[in-house]
Structure 1
Amino acid sequence: MNKNQANLEELKDYLGFGVAGNFANHLGEAGEADEFSVIETKEKDAPKGLFPFYIPNHDSFLGEYPISTDIINHNNMDKLQVEAEVALLCDFVYENEKLVDIVPKLFGAFNDCSNRVQDGNKLSTKKNWGPNSKGLASDLIEIDSFEEDGILSKYHIASFVRRDGILKDYGTVSAVKSYSYFFNQLKDWMIDKFNTQEDMGPLEELKPFIQDMSKYKGLLIAAGATAYTDFGKHNFLEKGDEIFVYVYDAHFHSFEDIIQDMSGMDLHLSKCSKLHQIVE
């Protein structure tokens, strides 16, 4: 297994998109199920769609680079929640004004931090409020194969918030392979959505965002947020909170290893991508 340092300067030339509704119950827990009720999917458990969170040089809020490895900007918002996810850094093939292939190369822990205001606006408006509104682990892991027998099938996602010295589980510990869509099913679905998704409900038409795609270095895909624990459902982020998101090889590291790492023990989590942020 090879680790790579996230190159935040290079990522400024990536397009950032997230997958909405890729874990059972997440949209309901996030208070977004009603907004998405107008969107029909071909299969009952299929994700609802894709949304942009960063488009380099876009003339809207989406042009603001939101990625940080250590800070979340609270921005005095009342209803910020951690969204613990797997990030996929991908190459792509764009030909004849169509996206024809996505090639996941690296993965890591991601916080698709979201503002839960229910204002009827597009989902993307709740995802980027400027610098330090997203989180990406500095350690990323090479993908050997984006297939069910590849490295990612062993990994789990766990997330926590430490408040006033007390550590709380924030998201439910979830196997990466328990995403509704992942591996080639997710890849094929994303290619289709990039080319065909129309403006409906909380989602936007995507073709305008990718019409000049060949000038970008790659795609940063947030694959979807896990369900919440009871604490995560009922507690929004406060200034001073510490956020932890781990994407770890559960065949190699125990859950106890993760807990001990947060307690300050000097463990070498060799098969893990860890994100640690402070809310400011």
Structure 2
Amino acid sequence: MNKKYINADDLKDYLGFGVAGNFANHLGEAGEADEFAVIKTEEKDAPKGLFPFYIPNNETFLGTYPICTDEITHNDIEHLQVEAEVALVCDFEFKDGKLLDIIPKYFGAFNDCSNRIQNGDKLSTKKNWGAGSKGIASDLIEIDNFEEDGILSKFHIASFIRRDGILRDYGTTSAVKSYSYFFGQLKDWMIEKFNSQQDMGPLEEINPFIKDLDKHKGLLIAAGATAYSDFGKTNFLEKGDEIFVYVYDAHFHSFEDIMQDMSGMDILLSQCSKLHQVVV
């Protein structure tokens, strides 16, 4: 297994998008089910659509680079929630204003941290409130192939909060392959949405955001957040909270390995991408 170590600024020339509604129950737990009721999908369990969280050089709030590897900026926002997920760092093929292919190259732990107070009528307005709005692990793992027999099929997502010295589950520990759409199905769906998604409800038309994609380095895709634990459903982030998101090979590492790592024991998590952030 090959790892790539990055600094947060290494992704400044990537366009950032998230997948909405790609995990059972998440939209309802996030209080967003009613907003998305107007979005009809061909299959019951299909994701609802794509949303932007970072567009380099955009003149709106989306032009502010939000990615950080060690902090979340609270900004005295009362209703911030961790969204633990898998990030895909992707190459692409683009021609004549159309996205032809997405090539996932690396994956890692990601926090698509969200402001649950609506700042506008689009989902994207909850996603970027300035620098330190998002989190990505500094250790990314190379993707051998983005198929069901590839490395990612072995990985699980787990997330935790340490508050006042007490460690609590924040999201439900979930297998990556339990996403509603993943691997080839997700890739094909994303290509179609990048080229054809229209403005409706909380989602925006996507193609205008990628009109000069060929001038940029790649795409950063947040594949969707897991369901929340009971604590995560009802507890918003506070200054001083520590956030942990692990994307780990559950065939290689035990859950006890993860717990020992958070306790400060010297555990070698060789088959894992780990994000650790402090809320400031």
TM-score, normalised with respect to structure 1:
0.99
User: What one-letter code is carried by the residue in structure 1 that aligns with 2:94?
Assistant: Y
| 3-state DSSP of counterpart to 2:156 | strand
Structure-2 residue corresponding to 1:170: 170
Whether the 8 Å contact between 2:86 and 2:222 is mirrored in structure 1 is yes
**How far, CA to CA, are the matches of 2:107 and 2:91 in structure 1?**
12
Structure-1 residue corresponding to 2:185: 185
The superposition leaves residues 192-224 of structure 1 with CA deviations (integer Å, 9 ceiling, x where unpaired) of 000000000000001110111100100000000
1:71 partnered with 2:97: no
Whether the 8 Å contact between 1:246 and 1:272 is mirrored in structure 2 is yes
Q: Structure 2: any 5+ residue segments left out of the alignment?
A: none
1:279 partnered with 2:279: yes
Structure-1 residue corresponding to 2:32: 32
**How far, CA to CA, are the matches of 1:26 and 1:84 in structure 2?**
11
User: What one-letter code is carried by the residue in structure 2 that aligns with 1:156?
Assistant: H
Whether the 8 Å contact between 1:35 and 1:120 is mirrored in structure 2 is no
Whether the 8 Å contact between 2:7 and 2:69 is mirrored in structure 1 is no
User: What one-letter code is carried by the residue in structure 1 that aligns with 2:254?
Assistant: S
Structure-2 residue corresponding to 1:144: 144
Q: How does 1:5-154 map to 2 (within 5 A)?
A: 5-118=5-118, 121-154=121-154
TM-aligned CA deviation for residue 10 of structure 1: 3.0
Structure-1 residue corresponding to 2:158: 158
TM-aligned CA deviation for residue 234 of structure 1: 0.3
**How far, CA to CA, are the matches of 1:119 and 1:32 in structure 2?**
14
Q: Structure 1: any 5+ residue segments left out of the alignment?
A: none
Whether the 8 Å contact between 1:120 and 1:202 is mirrored in structure 2 is no
Structure-2 residue corresponding to 1:265: 265
**How far, CA to CA, are the matches of 2:144 and 2:124 in structure 1?**
31
Identical pairs, percent: 79
TM-aligned CA deviation for residue 119 of structure 1: 5.7
| 3-state DSSP of counterpart to 1:28 | helix
Q: How does 1:203-242 map to 2 (within 5 A)?
A: 203-242=203-242
TM-aligned CA deviation for residue 120 of structure 1: 5.6
Structure-1 residue corresponding to 2:194: 194
TM-score, normalised with respect to structure 2:
0.99
| 3-state DSSP of counterpart to 1:37 | helix
TM-aligned CA deviation for residue 8 of structure 1: 2.9
User: What one-letter code is carried by the residue in structure 2 that aligns with 1:138?
Assistant: S
The superposition leaves residues 151-182 of structure 1 with CA deviations (integer Å, 9 ceiling, x where unpaired) of 00000000000000000000000000000000
